[in-house]
A and B are shown apart, each in its own frame.
Chain A
Amino acid sequence: MSRTEAASDFETVSETNLTRSERYRQLVDEFVLAPARIVWHDWRARIAVTIIAFFLFLGTVGVRLVDEPRTNQGDRLVGAFRTLEHPLGTTASGVDILSQVVYATVPMIQMITAGAVFSVVVATVVGTTSGYKGGAVDQGLMTVTDVMLTIPGLPLVIVLAGVTDIGGNPYLIGVLLSINAWAGLARALRSQVLTLRDAEYVEASRIMGVSTPKILTTDIIPNLMPYITMNFVQQARAVIFGSVGLYFLGILPYNRTNWGVMMNDAVSQAGATSSMVAFHWLLMPMLAVIFLSMGLTLFAQSADRLFNPRVRARHAKTVGGDDTDDEVSS
């Protein structure tokens, strides 16, 4: 008697049935159109996507439009914005700086991708498992993570590059630069999971007998997506900063030019910090670094909005958004 009443809640069938095409339209709206609308709505995201697309363009089409850098392409140390043939000027050996900047984009994108993917994947697996499982698994994983977290990354990379022969493969260098970068994100994710794992809806999934991997992927990780995306982008930036810095110090091996190598040459071959004649040689690669990381930083900023359910709902047409709850009150 009371049994039927109690069970009735679970037996209720949704009153609205969606046809297949309606469901697809809803999915497209939710996962493609709504994010696109959010991106278009937010000036930061618009600039970020433009900048990142610009560098991708340089790395793919740009290298076909610009001549490969080689010595004596023009006069020595032509200043920036003086001639049309060499808009960004030339180096002390007459190499066109524009072509160097463009050609250095390709290995840079490869390094960034390898490093960011590596660190985010390792961090997500370690962090969520550790936080959700708790106990011995947590302790084991966190011991390793803490050791990795504490050993300072750049000195470790410097020492490894100093004693090993890693070669100039950009993918390998990207991973090497992120060798312990996952630890920070893993620990941060773990503490987020610790506060999430006792949430009512997670508790409900557990009682319903949903498996741990399924709970992690459907209940826990979506909540961490803004965090993960932001860290993906931040790691991408860290790889840029680290690689350019170490190339500037002349520590990493390379087989194609890099913005850091350009900076090193500018300072060591022409004394660009003390003589203004060569300053453009130092400045152009620095601007490239700043410009690209600016794009990534802006993207990380707007990623927060992209995954914010409230903002999302406002931009999705098929999901009933709560328009009344406009931005968090100040």
Chain B
Amino acid sequence: MHYILKRTAQAIFTVFATITLTFALIRLLPGGPAQSMRAQMLEQGNDLTSEQINRQIEAQMNIAPDEPLYVQYAEYMASILTGDFGISTWHNEPVADILGSALPWTVFIMATSLFLAFVVGISLGAYMAYREGSTFDVSSTGVALLLNSIPDYVVALLALTFLGHQTGLFPTGGRYASGLEPGIHPEFLASVAYHGALPVLSMAVVAFGGWALDMRGNSIRVLGADYLHVARLRGLSEHRIALRYVARNAILPMYTNLMIAIGLMFGGAIIIEEIFAYPGIGFYLISAIDQRDYPVMMGAFILITIAVVIGVYIADLTYGKLDPRAKGGGSRESY
């Protein structure tokens, strides 16, 4: 219980730290967003008074430049936490609306590919470790190494070129076929899967090799441990040894990696979304950089971070179930 409380506090703290960071970037950076927006508005002319410019910045960025700094910070924090991310300077729509409709799509392609890669990876890796040195092991290791050396966007570009443009097997952009009414009906879901296939596969294909190699290495190390000799001497079944002794202890060190992967994959999805013109959150983030649309830029960053925080939080709460040592290990003061 204590652990859960601590983790919850930590998750909330991370969100606060992130929002503080974006505030500092917007407000305190010389030549940063606040100043550059003011310069932009002055350049456009329209005979705006300083007062009007301040009001407009406040509406778009949730930052009132004429208030004292701590008031600005408090107001900014309050509006972000209540879901008000300001107004996009490019689309002239609330940032929350734009990003809110994009986020589920990013989570969809990201979670699907992470799940696929992890499950395929650890199964393959464990099997490779059991057959260490066999032709299967050597050839799979080779393939996994090769895949592990290819960035996902390279796979995406190749897939787009050959499966998209050249053969026309898959769509080259969009989330679903235009003209379809979104809703839970087979035609729409099939179209979503069809459009999501290439982005999901580009990320999963390169990631599963890494999981397989990690799992293989960990399993081999566990296979040499003394407690396994003891388990064998005790005459435990191979099945029990494989699942309870080897798999559990081999997956354990990968658990932190899984949490990192959640963050990495959200980052990777940005480039993939851009390549496939898939309007997820990363797609809007990149457009915002090109358009110098700071409210969208910061909103996307905050939303991605919150998504990662939630993902890691869930992963972390299940960690204690796998490793009893992890519970008390850090908390006692020693040496």
Contact = CB atoms under 8 A, between A and B. Distances in A.
Contacts of B18: 151
A297 B294 CA distance: 38
Contacts of B271: 154, 245, 248-249
A197 B329 CA distance: 11
Given A163-B32, A282-B157, A301 B145 contact: yes
Given A146-B14, A197-B335, A289-B154, 8 more contacts: A134-B333, A143-B10, A149-B259, A150-B309, A153-B264, A154-B264, A162-B289, A251-B286
Interface stretch (A27-35, A110-118, A184-192): A184-192
A273 B256 contact: no
A162 B13 CA distance: 25
B215 interface: no
B308 interface: yes
A274 B157 CA distance: 10
Given A298-B145, A330-B132, A155 B301 contact: yes
5 contacts: A146-B14, A163-B29, A184-B260, A212-B335, A328-B132
A138 B286 contact: no
Nearest to B29: A163
Nearest to B224: A328
Given A289-B151, A297-B148, A154 B270 contact: yes
A320 interface: no
Interface string B214-235: 0001001001100000000000
Interface in A241-284: 241, 244-245, 248-251, 263, 267, 272-274, 276, 279, 282
Q: A-B pairs with the 3 shortest C-beta distances? A: A154-B267, A135-B333, A328-B224
Contacts of A191: 253, 256, 326, 329
B300 interface: yes
Interface in A139-173: 139, 142-143, 146-147, 149-156, 158-165
B335 A134 contact: yes
Interface residues of A, number: 70
Contact of B151 (A132, A138, A241, A328): A241
A190 B325 CA distance: 13
Interface in B127-162: 130-133, 141, 145-146, 148-151, 153-154, 157-158, 160-161
A36 B32 CA distance: 52
Contacts of A146: 10, 14
Contacts of A136: 333
Contacts of A163: 25-26, 29, 32-33, 294, 297
A19 interface: no
Contacts of A133: 334-335
A80 B145 CA distance: 27
A135 B263 contact: no
A329 B17 CA distance: 49
B301 A156 contact: yes
B222 to A, nearest CB: 10
Interface in B265-291: 266-268, 270-271, 274, 282, 285-286, 288-290
B157 A158 contact: no
B240 interface: no
Contact of A158 (B153, B158, B285): B285
Interface residues of B, number: 77
A134 B330 contact: yes
B124 to A, nearest CB: 16
B2 interface: no
A321 B190 CA distance: 61
A194 interface: yes
A53 interface: no
A274 B161 contact: yes
A206 interface: yes
B242 to A, nearest CB: 12
B153 A151 contact: no
Given A139-B330, A294-B145, A152 B304 contact: yes
B305 to A, nearest CB: 5
Interface in B231-269: 253, 256-257, 259-260, 263-264, 266-268
A290 interface: yes
Contacts of A276: 166
Contacts of B300: 155
Contacts of A159: 22, 25, 297-298, 301
B174 to A, nearest CB: 16
Given A263-B157, A298-B145, A245 B151 contact: yes
Contact of A152 (B141, B253, B305): B305
A326 to B, nearest CB: 11
B256 to A, nearest CB: 5
A156 B290 CA distance: 16
Contacts of B148: 297
B172 to A, nearest CB: 8
A212 B263 CA distance: 34
A49 interface: no
